[in-house]
């Protein structure tokens, strides 16, 4: 993540922050519980955050959208993408090949169970006639 963009957004929103955990976290006062002490920790690698006072937590998008007055959701998503260093192209998953139905021959004793077996087979759209 781009720490300089993130910290400039936080500073512009009025948050007094400092680094903790050898630069792996940013620590500042929680805007939700409005505690004066720096009890909100945000990971500089993932953007996940938690306030250890009120237990409010979330991801980077949620924090910026709710507390930093960035704009609408689209603008916030663009900023999150920029902070994270851009987004890789997301390709659609490869469709699975269609499978042909398979006919399985059941042992004759399987269908000799009477009505219970017939109901079981019918419930699964299985024909007892081979």
Burial grade of 14 (CB within 10 A; 0-12, 13-18, 19 or more): exposed
- Among candidates 34, 72, 70, 69, which has minimal Cα distance to 54? 34
Tell me how far apart the alpha carbons of residues 104 and 123 are, in angstroms, rounded to a whole number: 17
Tell me how far apart the alpha carbons of residues 9 and 79 are, in angstroms, rounded to a whole number: 9
Reported confidence tier of residue 122, pLDDT bands at 50, 70, 90: confident
Reported confidence tier of residue 36, pLDDT bands at 50, 70, 90: confident
Please state whether the predicted TM-score (pTM) of the whole model is above 0.85: no
Long-range contacts of 26-33 (CB under 8 A, 24+ apart): 30/54, 30/56, 31/67, 32/56, 32/67
Domains of the chain: 3-83 (3.90.580.10), 102-130 (no CATH)
């Amino acid at each position: 993540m781009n720490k300089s963009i993130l910290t400039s957004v936080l500073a512009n929103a009025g948050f007094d922050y400092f680094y903790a955990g050898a630069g792996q976290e940013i620590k500042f006062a929680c805007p939700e519980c409005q505690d004066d002490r720096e009890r909100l920790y945000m990971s500089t690698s993932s953007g996940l955050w938690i306030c250890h006072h009120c237990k409010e937590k979330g991801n980077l998008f949620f924090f910026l959208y709710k507390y930093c007055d960035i704009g609408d959701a689209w603008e916030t998503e663009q900023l999150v993408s920029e902070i994270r260093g851009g987004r890789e192209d997301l390709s659609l998953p490869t469709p699975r090949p269609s499978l042909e139905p398979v006919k399985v021959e059941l042992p004759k004793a399987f269908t000799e169970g009477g009505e219970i077996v017939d109901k079981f087979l019918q419930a699964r759209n299985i024909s007892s006639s081979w």
